[in-house]
Amino acid sequence: MKIAVLSDTHDHIYNAYAAVRYCNEKGVDIMIHCGDLISPFMLKQLAAFKGDVHLVYGNNVGDLHLVSQHCALKYPNLTHHGYLGFLEIAGLKIAFHHYPEVALPLAQQGKYDVVCCGHNHIRAVERIGNTLLINPGDLLGKDIRPCFCILDTESFEVEKVEVGKPMFPVG
C-alpha cells in the first residue's frame, strides 16, 4: 500500500492539484494532509484524489467551521480529524499532527509505526526507535521546490516527490 503525506499547501491550488494528479497516476491508496491547507476551497483539490484523504488543522486554519463541515457533508472521501489524527492502515498505527513539537513525543512513545507532521516546511524522515517520523516538507514552495512524500507500507521506503517551482528564487 502507498500513503501520500502532504503538508503546508497554504492555498496553492496548482501544487495541490499536481500532487493529487501524481498520486492518482501512481496508484497511491491513502492521502494524509498534516495541516495548513488553509481555505475551504482547497478541499475540492484534495477530493479529486481517488482514495481516502485524512487531514488535520494547522496553525493557519482558514475557516474552521467550513473546512470541517465540507469534509463531513460535501466530500465523502475526506475525513477531518481536528488537530490530531490517528489511523490504522495496512496493519500500521499512524498518528499525524501539524507541529513537529507534538509529533516528536508521539514518535518517542513507541506506540505508533508512523508519525507525520509539517509546519516548519523542512522535509525530514527519521527513525525514532521503531517509529518512522515523516515531515514531507511543504507544497507551498515558499523557499524550495514544493514537495511531498509517499510511504510504501511494505518496504517502509519514503519517496520524495517534487512538483511545481519555488515561489521565490533562493540565493
Domain ranges of the chain: 2-162
For residue 10, give the C-alpha cell. Answer: 497554504
pTM of the full structure: 0.94
Residues 65-85, buried b or exposed e (16+ Cβ, 10 A)?
eebbebbeeebeebebbeeeb
Residue 164 backbone dihedrals phi, psi, to 5 degrees: 60, -160
CATH placement of domain 2-162: 3.60.21.10
Q: Which runs of consecutive H residues, i.e. helices, occur in the chain?
A: 13-25, 43-47, 64-73, 100-109
For residue 90, give the C-alpha cell. Answer: 495496512
Which tens digit of pLDDT belongs to each residue from 84-141? 999 999 899 999 999 999 999 999 999 999 999 999 999 999 999 999 999 999 999 8
Mean pLDDT of 5-30: 96
CB 112 within 8 A of CB 134: no
Q: How far apart are CA 139 and CA 88, in angstroms?
A: 25
Which one-letter DSSP state was computed for residue 9?
-
Q: How far apart are CA 110 and CA 76, in angstroms?
A: 32
Which tens digit of pLDDT belongs to each residue from 132-171? 999 999 999 888 889 999 999 999 999 999 997 666 555 4
